[in-house]
Amino acid sequence: MGNLIYWVLMGTVAAVLGYLLYRLYDSAKTYYRFRGKRLVTCPETHKIAAVELDAEAAAREAFTRKPRIQLAECTRWPERKDCGQGCLSEIAESPSDCLVRNIVIDWFTDKKCVYCEKPIAEVEEWWVDHKPALLTPERQIVTWNEFAAEQLPETFEKCQPVCWSCAATETFRKERPELVSDRAPTPLRIQHIK
């Protein structure tokens, strides 16, 4: 009889632990799905706004029930903090399409560097260390994350892509010209120096 109680108790503990692990996994999955800055069209102004969902609250709720989507931040706050959050329907419609990270990846995909004309490397290679840059109309090299998220679509229209290698080289050339010795310009380089 004592042996049976032991196995029933062990089975119950295993079932409870399994359920808790499943709920923790579901919470973690919810957190990663809801985190990150997003670009949406504000229903009130019809302009682009950058928002962040409350991923932590959603993860906590996912542990016990279906999580509610709610905003944690918006570029229109604090003035409009009490808005109806109508932009949430746009996020619910296509949650990954409005993520800033995915918008940046989509823009750089299939683009070539304006200096060397090589394709911008795969995303996995540059997302952490070797981020590509942008060449502004004023011929300045800047990284895309120097701009406010809601300015990115407009910025991408005006700027050209620059691979990480050329961005590092051209920035060094501009900041430390006394340490650079240029070879004779090639036709490709002449085209972009003008």
Nearest to 171 by CA among 137, 124, 132: 132
Q: What is the pLDDT of residue 156?
A: 92
Q: Distance between CA atoms of 190 and 194, rounded to whole angstroms?
A: 7
Percent of the chain with pLDDT over 90: 11
Q: What is the pLDDT of residue 194?
A: 47
pLDDT in tens, 110-166: 888 898 888 886 655 566 677 888 999 998 999 888 888 899 999 999 999 998 888
**Encoding tokens for residue 88?**
């949430």
CB 82 within 8 A of CB 75: no
CB 132 within 8 A of CB 126: yes
CB 107 within 8 A of CB 99: no
Q: What is the pLDDT of residue 137?
A: 92
Nearest to 97 by CA among 105, 112, 129: 105
pLDDT in tens, 168-191: 888 888 888 787 776 666 666 555
pTM: 0.74
